[in-house]
Amino acid sequence: MRRNRKKQAFHLDIAPVNLIDLLLVLLIFFITTTSFLQLKVIELSLPSAKNTKTSYEKDMTFVVSIKESCDIYFEKKSTDLTNLSSLLKEKYAANKKSNFQIAADKETPHRCFIDVLDVFRANEIENISILTKRRK
């Protein structure tokens, strides 16, 4: 004998309040675990000068930054003097009209600046500019 049972309709009831709670928990999780974007910016306090009118082509200009602790950066990437020499040689060999800029913090020891200039001189690079900020 068969029993005739009606199939019960499956009805899922989702409470929106629970979804909001879940959304808030996920939001808090992602905010706390996400590493925020940290721009690679080298903080320098440049010395000032009266004449600052110079223009350069963007793809042919390379910046060597020197922090006050004598840390050297080439195009915002940390390097040392020997590696800087090979990087400069490579960029200069690719295009002899390349411009190189030295951005030294105003508190940088003079010897660090001279060390970087010696690297340029050793590679026979003379297209060098020194970055400053406009004097008010």
**For residues 84 and 122, is the Cβ–Cβ distance under 8 A?**
no
Which tens digit of pLDDT belongs to each residue from 84-129?
999 999 988 888 888 899 998 888 888 999 999 999 999 888 888 8
Ordered domains of the chain (ranges, CATH): 48-134 (3.30.420.270)
Burial class (CB in 10 A: 0-12, 13-18, 19+), 23: exposed
Please give the model's pTM, rounded to 2 decimal places: 0.58
